[in-house]
Amino acid sequence: MQQHMITRRQALAGIGSTLAALSLPDVVVAAGQVSSNAGPEDPLGKYPKPPFREQSQPWPGLASKMDPVPDHGEKSYKGSGRLAGRKALITGGDSGMGRAAAIAYAREGADVAINYLPAEEEDAKQVIALIREAGRKGVALPGDLREESFCKKLVADAVSALGGLDILVSNAARQQTKASILDLSTEDFDATMKTNIYAPFWLIKAAVPHLKPGSVIIGTSSEQAYDPSADLYDYAQTKAATTNFVKSLAKQLAPKGIRVNGVAPGPIWTPLQVSGGATMEKLKQFGGNTPMGRPGQPAELASIYVQLAAADASYATGQIYGSSGGAGQP
């Protein structure tokens, strides 16, 4: 789904000088932007529907071990130079929405650093390889965001490896289902708050001094911010906090030319859900209660992360962009 019109110069820059001799229509088709026989694509039949096979993985889980394996746009995302020369740090960039954003950003011309937990090295390696295949710099920065000292080091390492920073995607999160507040330990509650609320605070605080006008911060919120599930007492309130800090920081940073926006996904097929984020009962029917009758795939949100980072969205700040198959209320 590429509605973005590109100029001939952008198209040529994006696909290299070997195609420079082709005529304009050839070039545009070659860049994957417009095809004369491209028609509408039915979103309902595009991806798997429930029921899904029973499955669970130890937290934090690996995308490559899910059945079906999620689609992060590995084979489908086509760039058009929308983020040429940009420098992005994405937390949780190994899998799920973060991986879809990392692939898309690299194919749009950005250098990308990803953070993830050491246990996710296998997923992360695949993402770094895809970034490099796109001809961009891919930087792997594993570590645990629950530590303030690591968050500071992560930003410093990303800035030095990329030669600056102008896109921060604060996307990592912890979600563990608990039927009752009585089952939720202080340690659990604390881990969710550290990952989902403190880490974005520490990361953004470390990043702001490096962000020049035109830079962006993107947070991943959730439909849980508006319509919390009974079994996600701790997680859901952190997503309300994310939505809220996006709106506060947008006001605070607009005078510096820095935009701050959020994405609010509905049920998306990612490792978070199969490693404690959902009950087995919910997982088997995952996404089935949305109007579309299926979960979303990370690839279906990639263009949103691109749009919020791109310079042509220059008047959008403090916005939350939903993608939830017809439910949710961003």
Binding partner selected for residue 146 from Mg ion, ligand NAD, none, CB under the kind-specific 5 to 8 Å limit: ligand NAD
Between vectors from CA 23 to CA 20 and to CA 29, what angle results, nearest 5°? 90
For Mg ion, which is the closer residue by CB, 95 or 192? 95
Among the listed ranges 48-56, 76-84, 95-103, 217-225, the one in contact with Mg ion (CB under 5 A) is 95-103
CA distance 113 to 89: 5
- Under 8 Å between Cβ of 296 and 269: yes
For residue 275, what are the contacts with CB-CB under 8 A and spacing of at least 6? 56, 57, 58, 59, 60, 61
If binding is defined by CB under 5 A, does position 171 make contact with Mg ion? no
From candidates 32, 79, 109, 271, binder to ligand NAD by CB under 6 A: 271
Q: Among this protein's residues, is 321 annotated catalytic?
A: no
CA distance 109 to 205: 26
For Mg ion, which is the closer residue by CB, 219 or 298? 298
If binding is defined by CB under 6 A, does position 120 make contact with ligand NAD? yes
Of the residues 77, 235, 305, 321, only one is catalytic, namely 235
Reading across the β-sheet that carries 216-220, which strands appear in turn?
138-140, 111-115, 87-91, 167-170, 216-220, 259-265, 320-323
Q: How far is the CB of 120 from Mg ion (least distance, A)?
A: 4
Between vectors from CA 165 to CA 174 and to CA 125, what angle results, nearest 5°? 55
Binding partner selected for residue 317 from ligand NAD, Mg ion, none, CB under the kind-specific 5 to 8 Å limit: none
Which residues make up the interface to Mg ion (CB under 5 A)?
94-95, 120, 271
Hey, which residues are catalytic here? 235
Which residues make up the interface to ligand NAD (CB under 6 A)?
60-61, 91-92, 94-98, 115-117, 120, 144-146, 171-175, 195, 220, 222, 265, 267-268, 270-273
